[in-house]
Amino acid sequence: MKTNYLDELNNSQLEAVRYNDGPALVIAGAGSGKTRVLTYKIAYLLENGYEPWNILALTFTNKAAREMKDRIGRQVGEQRARYLWMGTFHSVFSRILRAEASHIGFTSQFTIYDTADSKSLLRSIIKEMGLDDKTYKTGMVQARISNAKNHLVSPTGYAANKEAYEADVAARVPAVRDIYRRYWDRCRQAGAMDFDDLLMNTYLLFNDHPDVLARYRNQFRYVLVDEYQDTNIAQHSIVLQLTKENQRVCVVGDDAQSIYSFRGADIENILYFTKIYPNTRVFKLEQNYRSTQTIVCAANSLIEKNERQIQKEVFSEKEQGEPIGVFQAYSDMEEGEIVVNKIAELRREKDYGYADFAILYRTNAQSRIFEEALRKRTIPYKIYGGLSFYQRKEIKDVIAYFRLVVNPSDEEAFKRIINYPARGIGETTVGKIIAAATENETSLWTVICEPLTYGLVINKGTHNKLQGFRELIELFIGTQGDKNAYELGTDIIRQSGIINDVCQDTSPENLSRRENIEELVNGMNDFCALRMEEGNSNVSLTDFLSEVSLLTDQDSDKTDDGEKITLMTVHSAKGLEFKNVFVVGLEENLFPSGMVGDSPRGLEEERRLFYVAITRAEEHCFLSYAKTRFRYGKMEFGSPSRFLHDIETRYLHLPHEAGLARSVDEGASRFRREIERGGMRSASSSRTPFGAGTSKEKVQVIPPAMPRNLKRVNSLGSKPTASASGTPPVGSVEAGQMIEHERFGIGEVMKVEGAGDNAKATIHFKNAGDKQLLLRFARFKIIG
């Protein structure tokens, strides 16, 4: 028997679902059932005279649309639900544009350019126009054009807009308007639309063709929008075009979760809604059905610190729940271990599945540490909204160099990098090399080493370029014996021009590519240091590559049954929920992002982002930060995020308590006594529980140290950093001592064997398990 779904709503929700006489705005905090209201409203409309094709529902992700459709399908039947128009703005509008393409001078087979395609087109336009590509950086030009499109400004409008021109002149890029014009024309000639065009062209289609608009207005008798706080002017205007006349529109959103201002979304939209539709009925929902009382109160206490917001109440009637656990890690690597250990512990205690966990971070580059920690334990995970670390293009490019240096016959690696970074070796030349190699049954590399022997017909210029490439690779091959993987890896990244390529501008994309490459270098650094501590004298690039290929080989889809831990950025977690959520990397300059500086608006947006993160959690929420982190090629000392201070301490479980709670073995309890004697601050005695004011803290983070014969080139920069102290004198380490390791954190020495250079210690680390370390290279200090 079908249950009455309306019984699954509270009174305010029910009212919002039933009100269908005019514009409706549901504005409410996280987890209060906004998405449920939209879903049930659609079912309600279908049961009250609307046909599925009369309903247009716009969601934040296609996944959300699928879930809504499934739920509605269970109510009204799958067959009917199938005909709903539901999806993201981009997917729904590209469908409309394909159907109506001829009205705006396209064919229905138009191509959609992704960001990389548009950048590459912009790059060639900038070149053709003879502009300086250091001034006219593609990322920056792209951002300006994208911004114009999101505000529905065409090239003609842009050229006529005095303000836009003056802004460009002030930024010393007066030619942006001409680039925009050319870019616009070239996309059209190529029959292509970029992501922003999907919105702008829909707007133009409706604007310039009233007959087409009339058809869609007729068809979409009801328009519903989820996550309305993150719509931009273009999206907002299209909704208006479709609903201005019949006023059947329902939007739901939460101003406290507006996190896309960089894409042109404007918090004002939601406030503006009632002005555009003066007879809007506003519904407020106050009960959160997702999270424990503690999580809801903690999130409220955080968001209160923002000035720009619509006041609202949010409460939960679920159980009180446990305080939010805060973990302090000594290093980013230990942060990974702590989180993974906690996941294992919760699974043991409460019978959670892997899918009940999510790890949320501010930047994609942070995923590597967690991926590695999870892989080590063979815990299945899935990365959303970003490629798995080693699948990312920039990482594959770098790895291709490594592969060619290690094995010059590697054909795929050769093809991938022969013209990356661009060195003027075109497809025709590559085609000729491939032909010669195939004919002579040899490798591409051999052909370019002896072009004459293999009858390669190329002009002098191309010949020189090929020889330049060969010499570059040979140079690396020549130093292989003298350098370890980390040193050679950084040489390759610098000398091949890769680092220049990704440093050419500070667009968010390039920045994230750069961060990823830096993460790879950090990984190599860790890898070498660890192997040396474990007693390997030289750690070669081949060693590193075999490790990497094992990692990727293990990453098979054996457990593709949905039982996986979710790893994603906070941005992509919007609208989702998980039983257990770890929000990681809560450090200044990371979360809040260093990009916002001290801008109050920027900081408020970062705080909203943190609010989104916490409110994803149903039962447990954990926050973590690391005192040291490898970033931009060097070890950085971080301070805990200011946002940690924004949450009332009564909702938190503070670092040292969390770290000591379950110490059962003898070593750990001795450590506890030690800490207690040392007088570590307690939660109640400290008004600033994080970072500043830690003078009473006994445990100090030791400065970064590298194995002595591992010359520490400051990975991607040029200046070597001084090798720091932290290595204990060999004779002073004894079984029973507590030590603090730079990467593994706190541990107890179990035994010491061997003498002199060969002296080794077996150490049991609280969070990283047992390790055998060569004392000559070990990076720890004795703490008790």
Ligand X SMILES: Nc1ncnc2c1ncn2[C@@H]1O[C@H](COP(=O)(O)OP(=O)(O)OP(=O)(O)O)[C@@H](O)[C@H]1O
Q: From the annotation, which residues make up the binding site for ATP?
A: 28-35
Q: How far apart are CA 736 and CA 759, in angstroms?
A: 16
| 3-state percent breakdown (helix, strand, coil) of the chain, nearest 5 | 50, 15, 35
Let me know: does 57 contact 84? Beta carbons within 8 Å: yes
Active site residue 311: no
Q: How far apart are CA 782 and CA 680, in angstroms?
A: 17
Query: What 3-state class would DSSP assign to 73?
Result: helix
One of 100, 196, 226, 255 is an active-site residue; which one? 226
- State the DSSP string of 385-419: SS--GGGSHHHHHHHHHHHHHH-TT-HHHHHHHTT
Q: What is the DSSP letter of 687?
A: S
Please report, as a single letter, which amino acid is at residue 150: N
Q: Provide, rounded to whole angstroms, the least separation between the CB of residue 618 and ligand X.
A: 8
Q: Which is nearer to Mg ion, 59 or 484 (CB)?
A: 59
Q: Which is nearer to ligand X, 185 or 286 (CB)?
A: 286
Let me know: does 406 contact 541? Beta carbons within 8 Å: yes
Active site residue 332: no
Q: Provide, rounded to whole angstroms, the least separation between the CB of residue 254 and ligand X.
A: 5
One of 35, 202, 328, 429 is an active-site residue; which one? 35
Active site residue 415: no
Active site residue 226: yes
Torsion of CA 87, 93, 98, 104, to 10 degrees: 180
List 35, 235, 257, 624, residue binding Mg ion (CB under 5 A): 35
Tokens read off for 738: 């507590």
Q: Provide, rounded to whole angstroms, the least separation between the CB of residue 77 and ligand X.
A: 21
Q: How far apart are CA 54 and CA 45, in angstroms?
A: 10
Q: Which residue is nearest to Mg ion (CB)?
A: 35
Q: Which is nearer to ligand X, 437 or 576 (CB)?
A: 576
Q: Which is nearer to ligand X, 297 or 404 (CB)?
A: 297
Please report, as a single letter, which amino acid is at residue 506: T
Let me know: does 343 contact 357? Beta carbons within 8 Å: yes
Question: Pick from ligand X, Mg ion, none: which does 31 bind, CB < 5 to 8 A by kind?
Answer: ligand X
E strand intervals along 19-132: 24-28, 55-59, 85-88, 111-113
- The phi, psi pair for 59, rounded to 5°, reads -120, 175
Is the Cα torsion angle 700, 633, 416, 436 positive or negative in sign? negative
Strand pairing partners for 781?
740
33 in contact with Mg ion (CB under 5 A): no
- Using CB under 5 A, which of the segments 28-36, 103-111, 413-421, 660-668 binds Mg ion? 28-36
Q: Which is nearer to ligand X, 28 or 81 (CB)?
A: 28
Crossing angle of helices 138-150/233-243, nearest 10°? 20
Q: Provide, rounded to whole angstroms, the least separation between the CB of residue 150 and ligand X.
A: 23
Question: Pick from Mg ion, ligand X, none: which does 290 bind, CB < 5 to 8 A by kind?
Answer: ligand X
One of 36, 149, 362, 616 is an active-site residue; which one? 616
Q: Which is nearer to Mg ion, 26 or 413 (CB)?
A: 26
Q: Provide, rounded to whole angstroms, the least separation between the CB of residue 256 and ligand X.
A: 9
Active site residue 257: yes
Torsion of CA 661, 664, 668, 672, to 10 degrees: 50
Please report, as a single letter, which amino acid is at residue 500: N
Q: How far apart are CA 637 and CA 331, in angstroms?
A: 9
One of 168, 194, 196, 227 is an active-site residue; which one? 227
Query: What 3-state class would DSSP assign to 641?
Result: coil
Residue 766: burial class (beta carbons within 10 Å; 0-12, 13-18, 19+)? buried
Q: Which is nearer to ligand X, 13 or 232 (CB)?
A: 13
Question: Pick from Mg ion, ligand X, none: which does 185 bind, CB < 5 to 8 A by kind?
Answer: none
Q: Provide, rounded to whole angstroms, the least separation between the CB of residue 281 and ligand X.
A: 18
- The phi, psi pair for 319, rounded to 5°, reads -65, 165
13 in contact with Mg ion (CB under 5 A): no
150 in contact with Mg ion (CB under 5 A): no
Query: What 3-state class would DSSP assign to 210?
Result: helix
Tell me the CA distances in angstroms from 260 to 148, 227, 256, 572, 619, one per residue in order. 16, 11, 12, 11, 27
Q: How far apart are CA 136 and CA 139, in angstroms?
A: 9
Let me know: does 228 contact 222? Beta carbons within 8 Å: no
Tokens read off for 491: 């040489």
Please state the residue numbers annotated as binding site. Answer: 28-35
Q: How far apart are CA 591 and CA 606, in angstroms?
A: 7
- Which residues have CB under 8 Å from 337's CB, separation 6+? 329, 373, 744, 745, 767, 768
237 in contact with Mg ion (CB under 5 A): no
Element (H, E) at 316: strand 315-316
Q: Which is nearer to ligand X, 300 or 615 (CB)?
A: 615
Q: Which is nearer to ligand X, 6 or 430 (CB)?
A: 6
Q: Provide, rounded to whole angstroms, the least separation between the CB of residue 202 and Mg ion.
A: 24
One of 61, 257, 328, 363 is an active-site residue; which one? 257
Query: Which residues in this chain contact ligand X in the complex, by CB under 6 A?
Result: 8-10, 13, 28, 30-36, 254, 257, 289-290, 575, 577, 615
Let me know: does 638 contact 627? Beta carbons within 8 Å: yes
Question: Pick from Mg ion, ligand X, none: which does 727 bind, CB < 5 to 8 A by kind?
Answer: none
Residue 332: burial class (beta carbons within 10 Å; 0-12, 13-18, 19+)? buried
Element (H, E) at 494: helix 485-495
Q: Which is nearer to ligand X, 529 or 613 (CB)?
A: 613
Active site residue 328: no
Tokens read off for 441: 């049954």
Closest CA to 352 of 143, 565, 75: 565
Residue ranges in 554-583 that form contacts with Mg ion under rule CB under 5 A: 575
Q: Which is nearer to Mg ion, 34 or 177 (CB)?
A: 34
269 in contact with Mg ion (CB under 5 A): no
Let me know: does 123 contact 138? Beta carbons within 8 Å: yes
Q: Which residues are catalytically annotated?
A: 34-35, 226-227, 257, 616
Instruction: Catalog residues that contact Mg ion under the rule CB under 5 A.
Output: 34-35, 575
